[in-house]
Amino acid sequence: MKYDFETVMDRSGKDSIAVDTIPYEGATVKEGFSKIPMWVADMNFATAPTITEAIAQRIGHPAFGYFSLREEYYQAIVDWQKIRHGVEGLAKEHIGYENGVLGCVVSTLQAFCSAGDAVLLHSPTYVGFTHALENNGFRIIHSDLKRDKEGIWRMDYEDMEEKIKARLDELRVGLQADGGDLELVKIEGKVVYLRLVGHCGSCPFAMMTLKQGIEVSLREIDPEITVERVEA
């Protein structure tokens, strides 16, 4: 399908945040300049005809009630992930419906964290993520993106590791009070390898300490962190 990237649209008066709301209160546009939203998710290109045609066909029926997702919905996601990202084995039961990215982010965090927990967020970031976290009671720990020699902003893994180490140091205080301690062996991606020593090393509840205590606490920084034990 040939897509239209050339037609100029006037979106004024169509309830568009990108056009009718921006610039926000207090912000101004210099004389001689136009306000141009640089968003990726909401660009001034026409929606693909296949989508508008499907919507028009559906609204031809006068009833709009509760709905269930059709098999084509799940298959479209499975095919996209396979073709675009090489994902194999993705099935219907692995897919959950969310009304937008922000709702998905909040639901994921609520599954792993509680209100008041800290969440690692890269900066600069999409303001929607910031508002979603703050409005749902999460504390934000910022890790600034680092600009490389080519001018590309990338994750600063050293900074992220330092923030994880700082959290581990806080947890060590409680372990040391019971005659135990932990040692950070290494961090590979989002897997943290720890060695329990002292009373913790021989404690029958060592794995519970790692998974239900330390891992849960580290997931306040990043919900995808997992902790693995390294034997002494």
Separation CA 42–CA 22 (nearest Å): 13
Separation CA 28–CA 21 (nearest Å): 12
Residue 135 falls inside a structural domain? no
Of 5-14, 33-42, 50-59, 95-104, the poorest mean pLDDT is in: 33-42
Domain harbouring 195, CATH code: 3.30.300.130
Confidence of residue 228 (pLDDT cuts 50, 70, 90): confident
Find residue 183's DSSP bridge partners: 195
Separation CA 135–CA 106 (nearest Å): 10
Q: CB count, 10 Å around CB of 197?
A: 14
> Do 179 and 198 form a contact (C-beta atoms < 8 A)?
yes
Domains of the chain: total = 2
Residue 168 falls inside a structural domain? yes
**CA-based nearest residue to 161, from 134, 135, 182, 191:** 191
Separation CA 225–CA 158 (nearest Å): 15
More confident residue, 1 or 215: 215
What sign has the CA pseudo-torsion 116, 121, 123, 128?
negative
Residue 105 falls inside a structural domain? no
Separation CA 45–CA 144 (nearest Å): 32
Query: Which domain-ending residue is among 14, 49, 67?
Result: 67
Answer whether residue 178 shows pLDDT above 80. no
Residue 109 falls inside a structural domain? no
Residue 89 falls inside a structural domain? no
What's residue 232's pLDDT?
Answer: 67
Query: Which domain-ending residue is among 47, 67, 87?
Result: 67
Residue 120 falls inside a structural domain? no
Answer whether residue 196 shows pLDDT above 70. yes
DSSP H/E element including 187: strand 180-188
What's residue 166's pLDDT?
Answer: 82
Give the CB-side neighbour count of residue 63, counting CA atoms within 13 A: 3
Q: How confident is the model over 27-40, as a mean pLDDT?
A: 75
Query: Which domain-ending residue is among 67, 91, 111?
Result: 67
Residue 5 falls inside a structural domain? yes
Q: What is the pTM of this model?
A: 0.55
Residue 175 falls inside a structural domain? yes
In tens, the pLDDT along 58-96 reads 999 999 998 889 999 999 999 999 999 999 999 999 998
Confidence of residue 161 (pLDDT cuts 50, 70, 90): confident
Find residue 204's DSSP bridge partners: none
Q: Which two tokens stand for residue 197?
A: 């020593």
Separation CA 44–CA 156 (nearest Å): 33
Domain that holds residue 8: 1-67
